């Protein structure tokens, strides 16, 4: 039977790709993901995606929140906030409504800042 919680992001349900693991393909999930290994492909995540210090991601991402400590290259669309931490390297195209970046982050690419729906409605 169907589970009532299948469309909710549950905080204790985290998909993890450990260091030393390499994955190629596409992933869609309602839960958070942490990547400490290598991932090449496309990810759609209803929750938070974390690319850890040893994580390497190449492909496209659609998620609610994104934290990056490792290497990320590709096309990224984030609904809420992106946070690049010290040591992060980004190459690609980013679209988000909020951006935080530590000093020392390497950012090579473009960033488009989307207006939040609340701001758009208030200005209309």
Q: If you average pLDDT over residues 21-36, what whole number do you get?
A: 95
CB 77 within 8 A of CB 59: no
Tally the domains of the chain.
Answer: 1
| pLDDT of 123 higher than 70 | no
- β-bridge partners, 97: none
Local structure of 86: helix, strand or coil:
coil
Residue 84 scores a pLDDT above 80: yes
Does residue 7 sit within a domain? no
In this structure, is residue 42 part of a structural domain? yes
Q: Domain limits at 117?
A: 14-123
Cα 109 to Cα 118: distance, rounded to the nearest angstrom: 28
In Å, what is the CA distance from 47 to each residue of 29, 59, 83, 105?
8, 18, 14, 23
Q: Is 56 helix (H, G, I), strand (E, B) or coil?
A: strand
- Within a domain: 49: yes
Tell me, what's the pLDDT at 52? 97
For range 62-85, the mean pLDDT: 98
Domain contains 38: yes
How large a percentage of the chain has pLDDT more than 70? 83
Q: Among 36-40, 50-54, 95-99, 112-116, whose mean pLDDT is lowest? A: 112-116
8 within a domain of the structure (yes/no): no
On whether residue 6 sits in a domain, the answer given is no
4 in a structural domain:
no
Q: Which SS3 state, helix, strand or coil, does residue 119 take? A: helix
């Amino acid at each position: 039977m169907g589970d009532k919680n299948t469309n909710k992001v549950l905080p204790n349900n985290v998909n993890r790709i450990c260091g030393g693991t390499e994955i190629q393909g596409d992933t869609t999930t309602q839960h958070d993901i942490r990547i400490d290994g290598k991932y090449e492909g496309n990810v759609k995540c209803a929750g938070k995606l974390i690319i850890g210090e040893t994580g390497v991601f190449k492909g496209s991402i659609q998620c609610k929140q994104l934290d990056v400590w490792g290497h990320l290259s590709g096309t990224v669309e984030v609904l809420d906030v992106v946070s690049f931490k010290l040591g992060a390297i980004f190459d690609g195209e980013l679209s988000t409504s909020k951006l935080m970046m530590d000093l020392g982050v390497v950012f090579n690419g473009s960033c488009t800042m989307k207006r939040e729906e609340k701001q758009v409605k208030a200005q209309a």
